[in-house]
């Protein structure tokens, strides 16, 4: 996830989910996320064999900065 935070626009656009969602592979999973003003919002981490449209419908995105402790600017992202 550090790589995504450092290079958020390198993800693959996922128009089948919606016009703002990007994805990036991570081992046997795919990370689905949206870029907010200076943050990324991870929507889900699904196994690469999962069908995104079966899992990612009706996912709302919070407003920038509204995630409190779970929100980090790109440069301060922490991977746990």
Domains and CATH numbers, the chain: 2-76 (3.30.2310)
Q: Which residue has the higher pLDDT, 47 or 68?
A: 47
Does pLDDT of 69 surpass 60? no
> What order of strands is seen across the sheet that includes strand 21-26?
12-13, 21-26, 29-35, 40-47
**Average pLDDT of the chain, as a whole number:** 74
Looking at the chain, the whole-number percentage of residues with pLDDT higher than 90 is: 15
At residue 38, φ and ψ (nearest 5 deg) are -130, 25
**Mean pLDDT (whole number) for 61-77:** 52
What is the per-residue pLDDT for 13? Answer: 94
Question: What is the value of pTM for the model shown?
Answer: 0.55
């Amino acid at each position: 996830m550090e790589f995504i935070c450092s290079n958020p626009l390198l993800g693959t656009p996922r128009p089948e989910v919606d016009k703002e969602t990007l994805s990036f592979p991570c081992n046997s999973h795919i990370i689905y996320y949206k870029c907010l003003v200076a943050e990324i919002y991870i929507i889900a981490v699904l196994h690469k064999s999962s069908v995104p449209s079966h899992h990612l419908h009706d996912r709302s995105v919070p407003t920038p900065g509204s995630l409190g402790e779970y929100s980090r600017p790109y440069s301060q992202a922490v991977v746990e």
